[in-house]
Structure 1
Amino acid sequence: MLEGQSCLISRALPSSCEQESKWAYMTYRLLETSKGKRSLSEESGEVPQGGDSVKRRRLPEVSDCLIIEEMELPADESNHQGVAGEYSDTNSLIHPIGRDISINCLLHCSRSDYGAIASLNQSFRSLIRSGELYKLRRQNKITEHWIYFSCNVLEWEAYDPYRRRWMTLPRMPHNECFMCSDKESLAVGTELLVFGKEVTSHIVLKYSMLTNSWSHGVEMNSPRCLFGSASLREKAIVAGGTDAQGTILSSAELYNSETQTWMTLPSMNRPRKMCSGVFMNNKFYVIGGMASNAEVLTCGEEYDLDKGVWRIIPNMSSGLNGAAGAPPLVAVVNDELYAADYAAKEVRKYDKENNSWVTLGSLPERSMSMNGWGLAFRACGEQLIVIGGPRAMGGGMIELNSWIPRDGPPEWNLIASKHSGSFVYNCAVMGC
């Protein structure tokens, strides 16, 4: 856990070049210096404590504002001043080093710090909430992954594995029909999309990390549920599922979070629902699913984004799901495909050359499920994450176990736990 005034120096990410580290340190020192130039009475409001001692105001720590919230800035920080109070050029952000270098410094800060940075003044707040930093981070291949999951209807939590901190998202808008319907979730760019039904139609609710709020998202060209999906930076693909009348679909769509648009893709070779999706080697894969309420599909399909064509892969998901079970629990780390066999409580790895699955070892002992339901299996950067926990009357324990795949059987590490509903309804990992 970070202490004191260190919120502008990232210790979560691997260090980049030495020069960038120096700029980050300069940013921090400039902020400290500019604070020191203000008079003590301006800075603290002089809160007496036992006579002549005063309590000084501090910079927000990371823990003060992990998620950017609506805030009213003090008058002396919102009247178009830079971080160093005597400067008036808001476009420079940190005036002595200029806007471009200021932004380069911020790119290499942990995004856990962005809430604190946004509270410094209006210029920083506007920059953070514009999404510009996250777009530049994608271009520079700077990524941190946070885990978002729901163990209670309409309630979502997030976990930052770099800083090991829990965050509670605002409660979703209340909707009786939406509460009772099947829901899918997808994290893409800086958005968390949750898909569900409202009476006879489908709706999308969108959580924006930039504004820390929920709103209605853009509907697909062909709304659906029970589909397979995956995201790659600012784009995502959904495939298959069922429409509002229950018809099983073969269609697919691509979503761009930057343009807020859906684009219809060529259809798959087979209609399927209750399937899973992943990106691997810059291609999108749909794995398993059901062709009808009784027919379990063992084939997968590969979509080549450059050629715009689908290819069937026979027996790709053999044994990964059943008619009464959850969709295949699959995840990709370093372009290698892994699966959680919830029946045998084992982890498997996909052998691309032989189109077969190799058993590596066991899942965490306390990860319980109901035919695969209630258990999350996700990739989080270079880690595989299993989210679940033991059942208990009146509640339970949610546990996050992590393993970085390497030679040998899985060695799971418990990285976080808390009292909560132990049944995971939805889960998504946001990398930005």
Structure 2
Amino acid sequence: MLDGRSCLVSRALPSSCEQESKWVYMNYHLIEEVSNGKRHLEEGTEEEIRERKSTRLSNSHVNEELNMAEGFSTPPVDDSNKEACGGDQSDLNSLIHPLGRDITINCLLHLSRSDYGALASLNRSFNSLVRSGELYKLRRQVGICEHWVYFSCNVLEWEAFDPNSRRWMHLPSMPANDCFMFSDKQSQAVGTELLVFGKEVTSHVILRYSILTNSWSSGMVMNTPRCLFGSASLGEIVIFAGGIDARGTVLNSVELYNSETGTWETLPSMNKPRKNCSAVFLDKKLYIMGGLGSNVESYTCGEEYNLETKTWRVIPDMYPVPTVATEPPPLHTVVNNELYAADHAEKELRKYNKENNTWVTLGRLPERVFSMNGWGLAFKGCGERLIIVGGPRGSGGGTVELHSWIPGDGPPEWELLAIARRPSGSFVYNCAVMGC
């Protein structure tokens, strides 16, 4: 644990180079300075040091942008760093040479993920470490997680926002595709990936954005391609339930995607076929709520899936507000293992009582946020916060507001967290929260 300006760092991670077995007392600012490119532990001749400094100055505009973003492009790397760090493989094993690889990684885990782009620009060792995803896997193992909000107000453009540092990032544009230009799309974040789903005339398309490479890719295919599904993620996995296939058949099939292995697994089917449903993880179980069995058959029941026993259980009247075919799926999310709902029609925030299967009204949604029968509004859990993303009423377009509340005693008191002025509109097409 890094607490305050200095800390004790244990060698908790395995390594092939065991250089010392004792605890090391060190100052946290050493890592801060390296992450900001201020201190590189220079070694070598004066001429080599001057050459490396010159190279870093020429790339300063790249590093400035990287400091504001989690994604990164691979900057030019000075090969003299390799020689200065001690030869062919010593920098790969040590990263920060006097500390050793294990201690360095232990410290880097506690940096903000928005600093990892700058770290990747230091040399090939840091670049390889960040792009491999190893830091994010280790962060998940020790329980370190930062949540960022991703949303789209233009069919091919995405913005990202870090609620803690109030930093913004503009993602690269999605590859042009007619299915994203002229039809609805869905999104889900899992691990270090943002997945965007679209439907062509007779097929489905999935685009994947990776924060490790700051780029989009295609080629993913579900076992049963679908749209209008319910989905929820937990760590490195995401589960997709229901929806409709290319022929318009409402599905009860379910499948799981593992972002670490890149594999799809078909799970046991739900009891009822449903589309336009919502999905959340609660108590490490998957819950599917609301939705439609057809355009005229609306569900108020929910279903619970136990990942350990791989079984489904129907929960009558879990969400008593009927789903309407012309409206979006119910707006549900989870914060601190508590389930919340945003009723766009009544503009009310509600909380689920798990003990007696009832809902309690907590208060009002932000008055300024506007939606069109629920469309254009996002309601998400982001770490310990509830987040509502939408365009302000009467704004005339061009801005999106992010409102936040940390649940506690009493009615919600919404804070205007940020105003996004870059989007080309105020209608939120898609929104997802990535925690890693």
TM-score with structure 2 setting the length: 0.88
Q: Percent of aligned pairs with the same residue?
A: 61
More deviation in 307-316 or 28-37? 28-37
2:135 is matched with which residue? 133
Q: 1:353 to 1:125 in 2, by over 3 A?
A: same
Distance in 2 (CA, whole Å) between partners of 1:69 and 1:122 is 14
SS of the equivalent of 1:177 reads helix
More deviation in 167-176 or 69-78? 69-78
2:76 to 67, 73, 78: 73
1:42 to 40, 51, 55: 51
1:313 to 309, 312, 315: 315
On the 8 A contact 1:361/1:409 being kept in 2, the answer is yes
2:435 is matched with which residue? 431
Q: How does 1:19-418 map to 2 (within 5 A)?
A: 19-20=8-9, 22=26, 24-28=28-32, 32=39, 34-35=41-42, 39=46, 41-42=50-51, 44-45=53-54, 60=63, 64-76=67-79, 79=82, 82=85, 88-319=90-321, 321-391=323-393, 395-418=397-420
Distance in 1 (CA, whole Å) between partners of 2:349 and 2:325 is 20
Q: After TM superposition, give the deviation of residue 141 of structure 1 in Å.
A: 0.7
Q: Tell me the alpha carbon deviations over residues 201-232 of structure 1, each in whole angstroms, 9 at most, x when there is no partner.
A: 01110001100000015211001000000000
Q: 1:219 to 1:56 in 2, by over 3 A?
A: closer
Structure 2 residue ranges without an equivalent (≥5): 10-24
Structure 1 residue ranges without an equivalent (≥5): 1-9, 47-53
More deviation in 115-124 or 61-70? 61-70
Aligned length: 414
SS of the equivalent of 2:98 reads helix
Q: Tell me the alpha carbon deviations over residues 364-408 of structure 1, each in whole angstroms, 9 at most, x when there is no partner.
A: 111111111110000000100000022558623200011000110
Q: 1:38 to 1:397 in 2, by over 3 A?
A: farther
TM-score with structure 1 setting the length: 0.88
Distance in 1 (CA, whole Å) between partners of 2:5 and 2:303 is 38
Query: Which residue identity does 1:151 align to in structure 2?
Result: C
Distance in 2 (CA, whole Å) between partners of 1:173 and 1:331 is 29
- Which runs of structure 1 show a deviation greater than 6 angstroms over 4 or more consecutive aligned residues? 13-17, 54-59, 84-87
Query: Which residue identity does 2:429 align to in structure 1?
Result: Y
2:19 is matched with which residue? none
On the 8 A contact 2:67/2:114 being kept in 1, the answer is no
Q: Tell me the alpha carbon deviations over residues 181-214 of structure 1, each in whole angstroms, 9 at most, x when there is no partner.
A: 2211010000000111123101110001100000
More deviation in 335-344 or 169-178? 169-178
Q: After TM superposition, give the deviation of residue 35 of structure 1 in Å.
A: 4.3
Query: Which residue identity does 1:200 align to in structure 2?
Result: T
Distance in 2 (CA, whole Å) between partners of 1:172 and 1:182 is 15
More deviation in 24-33 or 279-288? 24-33
Distance in 2 (CA, whole Å) between partners of 1:56 and 1:240 is 49
On the 8 A contact 2:391/2:397 being kept in 1, the answer is no
Q: Tell me the alpha carbon deviations over residues 14-45 of structure 1, each in whole angstroms, 9 at most, x when there is no partner.
A: 86993149463343467726249874743554
Q: 1:14 to 1:287 in 2, by over 3 A?
A: farther
On the 8 A contact 1:333/1:383 being kept in 2, the answer is yes
SS of the equivalent of 1:96 reads coil
On the 8 A contact 2:77/2:124 being kept in 1, the answer is no
Q: 1:67 to 1:335 in 2, by over 3 A?
A: closer
SS of the equivalent of 2:100 reads helix
Distance in 2 (CA, whole Å) between partners of 1:316 and 1:80 is 63
RMSD (CA atoms): 2.9
